[in-house]
Amino acid sequence: MTMMNEEAMDLVLIPAPIMGHLISDVEMAKRLLQTRHQLSITVLLMKLPLDSHLNSHVESLLANNHCSRLKFISLPEEGLPAPASKNGFTSFTFFVESHKPNVRDCVNEMKNNGVRFGGFVMDWTCMVMMDVADEFGLPTYVYYTSGAAMLGLQLHLQSLRDDHGVDVTEFKDSDPHLNLSTYSKPFPAKLLPLFALDKTGGSGYFLDIAKRMRKAKGILVNTFLELEPHALESLSKNASVPPVYPIGPIVNLKGNSIQESSEKEILKWLDGHPDSSVVFLCFGSCGSFPEPQVKEIAYALEQSGHRFLWSLRRPPSHGSIFPTDYNDPEEALPERFLEKTKSIGKVIGWAPQAAVLAHPAVGGFVSHCGWNSTLESIWFGVPIATWPIYTEQQANAFQLVEEIGIGVEVKMDYRYYFMGEFEILPEKVNAKEIETAITVLMDHPTINPPRMKAKELKGKSREALEEDGSSFNYFKCFFEHVMNNII
């Protein structure tokens, strides 16, 4: 490496204004900074008018803006359109695009201050910002917060549209199986992300992102080689896909100190139970169920007899897009449920998910299969009962059950509510189906195949990030790639 390559260099990171993405984007930046001492990262933060939790997190990042190599800048909010609660995906990209002048101004100021740029790194949902990078003649790199198989799925659908003239929205309500190179088994079309099939704009948004990603200099993916070897090999053989760097698992293990008192109470309750005896039910920051489905879950837990910790959230009220905690969960539960299960179960609202999964008492996770939650479960070696709700979670569930082998199916093609869009009242999953999945997940802990696979991947996920581990080495490769592409 030349002397010039040892000079200080700055990457501009544009995270998505979505809580799960923002947390992952920032954790990825911190990990990247550990790779090279001469690297600095400037993070340009967008707030979202409809999301107070996200905005509080943005404020906390700004308040702790003390590291000279990781700088946070809040983009101006004046005069910007608020994303509509309806047609959320297309309005979201319009909202991100409206920040282009602010990003341009920030980069201009940095340039005038003599910053040496390595390029832009942007969350995959913010690919419209590639236009700004191009204006400055800077390379664009992508951070893909989902897995490699999902990346391949998105690129495949885009190729069907642009290279073969296929209207992929016609797959909606059909039941063929697709041959996708990043999956080793035929993929059921009914599990495609619903926004990829949306004729009102969601499909175009999703596929246009993939088209832009093909023009990037490289794609960082939140996965690791040992988790998705087939998918990553497939992507590496595709000449139309930029270099892919599996640098995960990127997980946030620190939790939320705002809820510290609740966390202590929950962990104290778990302390009173044997190892691997508690099934944990949690469905993410946007996950909730209608009341009839809540009752079926309750019946299943009672009938299974397993110890349980259940994060139960109220569906969003009219005009909102996020679930809230119940003032009194009994209003949604069967009569006397809490009384009858008080010796084996605990119903809570918000859950400190990483802390719970880390607790030795937890032996299984009934999950919506968001990718962050999936990686946390793998990090702590906890097998998953798959119950996807929205976005790409159905595809993740298929991968966990059929490809990776750490999942047990509850209902793989279940869909409900997300961002005020696709308001579907799903067919109810009955108590017996749920009970069966929990029993398979929790019984015979020493000879349970998903549990054994989860334990194996726990070790491999940690080894990947250690010095000379696969992800550690891909971080180094990515940095060398950036240095070689500086103009």
Q: Which of the residue ranges 35-49, 206-220, 368-382, 398-412 would you say has the lowest mean pLDDT? A: 35-49
Do the strands 187-188 and 177-178 form a parallel or antiparallel pair, or are they unpaired? antiparallel
Instruction: From 254, 253, 250, 260, select the one nearest 350 (Cα to Cα).
Output: 260
Q: Which residue has the tokens 């983009």?
A: 75
Confirm whether 123 is a catalytic residue: yes
Q: How far apart are CA 250 and CA 147, in angstroms?
A: 11
Instruction: From 20, 256, 249, select the one nearest 123 (Cα to Cα).
Output: 20
Q: How far apart are CA 243 and CA 218, in angstroms?
A: 5
Residue range 129-154: average pLDDT?
98
Structure tokens of 82? 């608020």
Q: Is residue 125 a contact partner of residue 89, using CB atoms and an 8 Å limit? A: no
Do the strands 278-282 and 362-367 form a parallel or antiparallel pair, or are they unpaired? parallel
The per-residue pLDDT for 417 is: 60
Q: Is residue 271 a contact partner of residue 356, using CB atoms and an 8 Å limit? A: no
Q: Which residue has the higher pLDDT, 15 or 255?
A: 15
Structure tokens of 252? 């946030």
Instruction: From 478, 480, 462, 411, select the one nearest 218 (Cα to Cα).
Output: 478
Q: How far apart are CA 115 and CA 119, in angstroms?
A: 11
Express each pLDDT in 101-120 by its tens digit: 999 999 999 999 999 999 99
Express each pLDDT in 320-353 by its tens digit: 777 888 989 999 999 999 999 999 999 999 899 9
- Asked whether the predicted pLDDT for residue 402 surpasses 70, the reply is yes
Residue range 227-255: average pLDDT?
95
- Asked whether the predicted pLDDT for residue 195 surpasses 80, the reply is yes
Q: Which of 52-61, 86-95, 273-282, 417-426 has the highest mean pLDDT?
A: 273-282
Residue range 248-277: average pLDDT?
86
| Chain centroid, CA 238 distance in Å | 25
Which H helix or E strand runs over 135? helix 130-135
- Asked whether the predicted pLDDT for residue 364 surpasses 90, the reply is yes
Q: How confident is the model at residue 424 (pLDDT cuts 50, 70, 90)?
A: low
The per-residue pLDDT for 274 is: 96
Fold observed for domain 259-460: Rossmann fold (3.40.50)
Q: Is residue 201 a contact partner of residue 87, using CB atoms and an 8 Å limit? A: yes
Select which of 123, 273, 359, 481 is catalytic: 123
DSSP helix/strand/coil, 71: strand
Q: Is residue 370 a contact partner of residue 396, using CB atoms and an 8 Å limit? A: yes
Q: How confident is the model at residue 259 (pLDDT cuts 50, 70, 90)?
A: low
Q: Is residue 176 a contact partner of residue 118, using CB atoms and an 8 Å limit? A: no
Instruction: From 406, 394, 450, select the one nearest 187 (Cα to Cα).
Output: 394
Q: How far apart are CA 170 and CA 151, in angstroms?
A: 21
What is the percentage of the chain residues whose pLDDT exceeds 90?
Answer: 75
Q: Is residue 184 a contact partner of residue 403, using CB atoms and an 8 Å limit? A: yes
* Residue extent(s) of CATH 3.40.50.2000 domains in the chain: 4-252+462-484, 259-460
Supply φ then ψ for residue 104, to 5 degrees: -60, -45
| Chain centroid, CA 424 distance in Å | 22
Q: Which residue has the tokens 């979670």?
A: 393
Express each pLDDT in 203-212 by its tens digit: 999 999 999 9
Express each pLDDT in 33-89 by its tens digit: 988 888 999 999 999 877 777 888 888 888 887 778 999 999 998 777 655 544 556
The per-residue pLDDT for 88 is: 59
CATH classification code of 4-252+462-484: 3.40.50.2000
DSSP helix/strand/coil, 420: coil
Residue range 300-315: average pLDDT?
96
